[in-house]
Structures are given as structure tokens and as C-alpha cells.
Amino acid sequence: MSAAFAYALVGVGLFSLGLYALIVHAHLLRKILAINVMGSGVFLVLVALGGRTREAQPDAVPHAMVITGIVVAVSASALALTLMLKLVAETGRAELPTHRRE
């Protein structure tokens, strides 16, 4: 088993773990953390599988993609956290209101 596949599988595990937590947890901070864990999983899959070259050098393109992805992730997290705080200030709850039929 090569390291590329092992780490890619860990990435899949992180993605699934994050997805589960995103669905199960109600607290918004936990949901934001879950999205970040999922993102790390996707990044791990991207970079790890780029190591399947026969040469010593891994593929640089997924590395660049992941650096881009990390910046996008921090942007989204900053926005999500601000929105969460705003929502808490407005409603006093760090949870989304349960869906009601209107």
C-alpha cells in the first residue's frame, strides 16, 4: 500500500466524518468546524493522490489548487462566523430555527 492511497483514504474518512457532524450537530460553530474538517479531507485527497508520479517530485498542480482552496476556506469561515455572531445577537441562539411549515 503506497502512502498516496493511505492518505487519500484518511481524506475520505475526514470528509465523511465532517459530513456526519454537519448533519447531526445543531450548534452553528460545530457546523462550521465540520465544514472545515470536510474541506481538509478534500484537500488531502487532492494532494495525496498527486504523489502517484513515478518520479520523486509530486504533481505541483494539486498543491497550487489546495493553497487556493485553503484561502477560500478561511474566507468562507470568516464570513460564516460573522454571520453566526450576527444571528446570535439577533435571536440569542447559535442554532438555526427548526423548519416550520408556513
Partner 1 sequence: MGAVFTDIPWGVGLILLPLAGGMICFLWPGIAKIAGLVTAFVVVLSVAGLGWQILDDGVYHHTLGGWGAPLGIDLYADGLSLLMLAATALVGLGVSVHSSGYFEGEYSARFWPLWLFLLAALNALFLSADIFNLYLTLELMGLAAVVLTALMGGRDALSGAMRYLLVTLLGSLAYLLGVALLFHNFGSVDMAILAGRVEASPAVRAALGLMSAGLALKIGLFPFHFWLPPAHASAPAPVSALLSALVVKAPFYILLRLWLEIFGPLSEGVDALLGLLGAAAVLWGSVQALRQTRLKLLLAYSTVAQIGYLFVAFPLAVAAGLTAWSAAAYLMLSHALAKAAMFLAAGNLLRFGGHDRIPDLDRVVQRLPLSTGAFALGGVAIVGLPPSGGFVGKWLLLEAALSQGRWGLVAVIILGSLLAAAYVFKVLGHAFTQASTPHEPRAVPASMEWAALLLAMGAILLGFLASPVLALLGIGDPFVASGVGP
Partner 2 sequence: MEAITQLQYAFDAPLGLGLLWLAWRTLACQDLFEAVVSFAAFGLLMSLAWVRLDAPDVALAEVAVGVGLTGALLLAALAKLRSSKMNEDAAGQLGKEGSEVGRPQWLPLVVLLSVAAGLGHAVWSLPLYSAGLSPEVALHLETSGVSNPVTAVLLNFRAYDTLLEMVVLLLALLGVWTLGGTARRPEAAPGPVLDTLVRLLVPVLILVAAYLLWVGAHAPGGAFQAGALLGAMGVLMLLAGWRLRTSLMALPLRLTVVAGPGAFVAMAVITLFIEGRLLEYPPQHAGTLILILETVAALSIGATLAALFLGSRPQDLENR
The residues binding partner 1 (CB under 8 A) are 15, 19, 22, 28, 31, 35, 38-39, 41-42, 45-46, 49-50, 52, 62, 65, 68-69, 72, 75-76, 79-80, 83-84, 86-87, 90-91, 96-97, 99, 102
C-alpha cell belonging to residue 71: 484561502
* CB contact at 8 A, 44 and 11: yes
98 is in the binding site of which of partner 1, partner 2, none (Cβ under 5 to 8 A by kind)?
Answer: none
From CA 18, how far away is CA 12, in angstroms rounded?
10
C-alpha cell belonging to residue 46: 487532492
From CA 4, how far away is CA 52, in angstroms rounded?
6
Residues from 50 through 89 that contact partner 2 (CB under 8 A): 50-68, 70-79, 81-86, 88-89
- Cβ nearer to partner 2, comparing 57 with 97: 57
